Structure 1
Amino acid sequence: MSDSPGGSYTRDDLTTPTRSKERAAWDEEAVHAVLDAGYLCHLGFVRDGAPVVLPTLYARVGRRLYLHGSTGSRPLHGARDEQGLPVCVTVTHLDGLVLAKSAFHHSVNYRSVVAHGTAHQVTDPAELRLALDAIVDQVVPGRSAECRPGNAKELAATAVIRLELDQVSAKTRTGGVNDEPEDLGLPYWAGVLPVAPAYGAPLPSPHTDVEPPRNVRELAC
């Protein structure tokens, strides 16, 4: 990933949360850390006057997000137009369940990013290959060098949309339970149950006669 250190994203009404503003951040380091820790996002847009939210894979390259899609998908029809497609992209990592003595103070620890902007379809062949390699590597680092690249037919059926990162912010919650003082003596357990992603042992294809590469083995550890 290419970065310009010390930068900050636009802070305005669209990127400032209305609740718990103290948990928000607009600096590149915080935003990029959340984006780089995942590969699944949710893409929101309006279709025929109704809101639509779709899960898809993504990758960050500098101050750009590339989102994977199909040439037949609905979002791409709007992104093909010169004016582009207004979108909202969200990424969330769940880090813990915060279990309080009162139902009201139950919460979750999380890291999230929300990005607003206008998405455009990637049409330049060189940029398309770069974006697809980045998306593959976002899921498993180094994987694009360990598989056959897409051929002309496959590339023609694959679409990528590009979102320039500008109106974007991160928001996180960390720490423990925030119970009311009068509830501290109640006879209920309270605390944090950590949550983390886990990979199982690699399941080889019947047509695979080689050992999993190191990057796959490391994810499975």
Structure 2
Amino acid sequence: MLSNTPRTQIKKAVHKAQFDLESLHQIIDESLIAHIAINNEQGPVVIPMLAWRVDDHVYIHGANNSRLLRSLKNGVQTCLTFTLFDGWILARSAFHHSAHYRSAVVFGHFTVVDDNREKDRLLNHFVEHIAPGRTQEVRLSNERELSATMLLRIPLSEASVKVSKGVVNDDKEDLDLPVWAGYLPYRTVVGPLKAVDELSDVVETPDYSAAYGHRWHNA
């Protein structure tokens, strides 16, 4: 079950709240982009960052001189949001138009992963998540590259999830209007692979479709 704290309590559209960890994990694993909020000397700012999950933590990485990462490194409280947009609900009235979406909010603070061996393992986990088997093919990061990379993690101990998948909710007096009503789905597709121009003819095209399930697209 997800945590129940004053910050994770959903007060608007409570029927959309989800409380199982599996829903949280699925949203993070599919999104891979976290919008991260901080307050700096110029005021609040939200930055999108690549993010991935390993067990019960979310990880982000970047250059050691990143202003965002340097601020988060100091343990300031922050908030991460993940959103997957699934489509529009088209009603007979403008007021009742809505959307299908899955969203997650994570509260807490980041800590630093300092050990280069652990950095390597976690960064490779990210590569494997987006392209299974790739770490067996590419040159892995060396000590210089790992030392130049800051890796931060935040626990999933305080989080909330909302899933909107409702139907058209027109007023009774609008049901006879001669207006199309229904659902306009959005689908994120992945692939096919596009090779760089200078790729040798002897290099075979890998298959990463296993990571994407029904989202994989073969043109």
| TM-score, L = length of structure 2 | 0.88
Distance (Å, rounded) in 2 between the aligned partners of 1:40 and 1:139:
13
Number of matched pairs? 212
Residue 135 of structure 1, aligned match among 110, 126, 129? 126
Query: Could you tell me how far 1:216 is from its partner in structure 2?
Result: 5.3
The equivalent of 2:25 in structure 1 is: 32
Judge conservation of contact 1:98–1:177 (CA < 8 Å) in 2: yes
Distance (Å, rounded) in 2 between the aligned partners of 1:18 and 1:121:
33
The equivalent of 2:136 in structure 1 is: 145
Residue 37 of structure 2, aligned match among 35, 44, 63? 44
* Structure 2 gaps, min length 5: none
Q: 112-121 or 138-147, which moves further after superposition?
A: 138-147
1:214 aligned counterpart, secondary structure: coil
Query: Could you tell me how far 1:208 is from its partner in structure 2?
Result: 2.0
Residue 90 of structure 2, aligned match among 91, 99, 104? 99
Distance (Å, rounded) in 2 between the aligned partners of 1:182 and 1:143:
57
Distance (Å, rounded) in 1 between the aligned partners of 2:182 and 2:136:
44
Judge conservation of contact 1:100–1:190 (CA < 8 Å) in 2: yes
The equivalent of 1:3 in structure 2 is: none
Shift in alpha-carbon separation, 1:192–1:146, aligned structure 2, 3 A: farther
1:79 aligned counterpart, secondary structure: helix
| Correspondences of 1:174-213 after superposition (within 5 Å) | 174-209=165-200, 210-213=203-206
Distance (Å, rounded) in 1 between the aligned partners of 2:133 and 2:19:
29
Query: Could you tell me how far 1:200 is from its partner in structure 2?
Result: 4.4
Distance (Å, rounded) in 1 between the aligned partners of 2:118 and 2:193:
31
Q: RMSD value over aligned CA atoms?
A: 1.9
Distance (Å, rounded) in 2 between the aligned partners of 1:141 and 1:174:
31
What amino acid is the match of 1:41?
A: A
Distance (Å, rounded) in 2 between the aligned partners of 1:113 and 1:144:
29
Query: Could you tell me how far 1:137 is from its partner in structure 2?
Result: 2.6
Judge conservation of contact 1:111–1:173 (CA < 8 Å) in 2: yes
* Structure 1 gaps, min length 5: 1-7
Shift in alpha-carbon separation, 1:216–1:205, aligned structure 2, 3 A: farther
Distance (Å, rounded) in 1 between the aligned partners of 2:160 and 2:79:
12
Distance (Å, rounded) in 1 between the aligned partners of 2:99 and 2:137:
37
Query: Could you tell me how far 1:173 is from its partner in structure 2?
Result: 0.7
Shift in alpha-carbon separation, 1:53–1:108, aligned structure 2, 3 A: same
Provide Cα deviations, 1:52-103, integer angstroms capped at 9, x if missing partner.
Answer: 111111111111000122211112212333xx12111111111111111111
What amino acid is the match of 1:24?
A: A
The equivalent of 1:113 in structure 2 is: 104
Distance (Å, rounded) in 2 between the aligned partners of 1:52 and 1:149:
34
Judge conservation of contact 1:95–1:110 (CA < 8 Å) in 2: yes
Judge conservation of contact 1:101–1:183 (CA < 8 Å) in 2: yes
Query: Could you tell me how far 1:153 is from its partner in structure 2?
Result: 2.4
| Correspondences of 1:49-128 after superposition (within 5 Å) | 50-81=43-74, 84-128=75-119
Query: Could you tell me how far 1:49 is from its partner in structure 2?
Result: 5.5
Percent of pairs with identical residues: 36
